[in-house]
Amino acid sequence: MVKIIMHGCNGKMGQVITGIVAADKDAEIVAGIDIVDNRQNPYPVFTNIDDCNVEADVIIDFASAKAIDKLLDYVETRKIPVVLCTTGLSEEQLARVEEVSKKVAVLKSANMSLGINTLFKVLKSVSPLLAEAGFDIEIVEKHHHFKVDAPSGTALALGDAVNESLPEKYEYKFDRSQDRIPRPKNEIGFSSVRGGTIVGEHDVIFAGEDEVITFSHTAYSKSVFAKGAVEAAKFLKGQPAGHYTMKEVIG
């Protein structure tokens, strides 16, 4: 049984994870942390993380970047491993994550979905073969109209998974509107679509002579990220200090 503290328990993702863990016989949320205690939860909720003295194996974080500094202090002091899912961290906060990971286990990935992280693994395997055969590489990502960054962090991570496997690094191309030249071979193009309530769609396209191979991932709800976070928490229990990613979770 993995005992979990849910950091950001009353947010959308915190509540999704609460529901997933409630149906999981191998995990239990023993406490929650949130700026307000305005929901009915089956565990105690603390509005100040420093007041939380509940014993736990792992913390799952789905809060806001503003709350990360106190969380990292708490993790470092209590020596409780943490699955960091909050995005938009500053360079200073990312440096602090690296510092804390030298003393306690920290898991942070660009995307918590098990499917996306499996796709990372597949791309590292097939990309050298297809690139050598002359296939052009394009990445198309689609998200809801509230998403402000483009391309998505996951799209960039997919590009990195491809690029890291190639003997010669490709350039990233984010905008072709000003170009009037044929497409160079050694580049990875990124395209972004924003609209409606699209949770997340990513296509990695390998376009060759007379054939196209597309690797696609579609998230139909945010629960895919929540499920990945719970699996990460199970993995992180008892792990030694270090910076882990979902790559270690899927093996």
Q: Is 27 labeled as ligand-binding?
A: no
Number of H helices, E strands in the chain: 7, 12
Q: Is 52 labeled as ligand-binding?
A: no
Q: Is 41 labeled as ligand-binding?
A: no
Respond yes or no: is residue 143 known to be catalytic: yes
Q: Is 109 labeled as ligand-binding?
A: yes
For residue 208, report the phi and psi dihedrals to the nearest 5 degrees. -115, -165
User: Of residues 7, 108, 142, 143, which has the active-site annotation?
Assistant: 143
Q: Is 12 labeled as ligand-binding?
A: yes
Please enumerate, as own/partner, the contacts of 153-159 that have beta carbons within 8 Å and a separation of 24 or more. Answer: 153/87, 153/110, 153/111, 154/110, 154/111, 154/116, 154/200, 154/202, 155/190, 155/192, 155/202, 156/110, 156/190, 157/110, 157/111, 157/120, 158/116, 158/119, 158/120, 158/123, 158/202, 158/204, 159/188, 159/190
Interatomic CA distance for residues 82 and 35, integer angstroms:
19
211 three-class SS = strand
Q: Is 8 labeled as ligand-binding?
A: yes
Q: Is 11 labeled as ligand-binding?
A: yes
Structure tokens at 183: 């497409």
Q: Is 10 labeled as ligand-binding?
A: yes
Amino acid at 109: S
User: Of residues 3, 70, 124, 147, which has the active-site annotation?
Assistant: 147
Q: Is 154 labeled as ligand-binding?
A: yes
Annotated binding site for (S)-2,3,4,5-tetrahydrodipicolinate: 144, 153-154
Annotated binding site: 8-13, 39, 85-87, 109-112, 144, 153-154
Annotated binding site for NAD(+): 8-13, 85-87, 109-112
Which residue numbers are catalytic?
143, 147
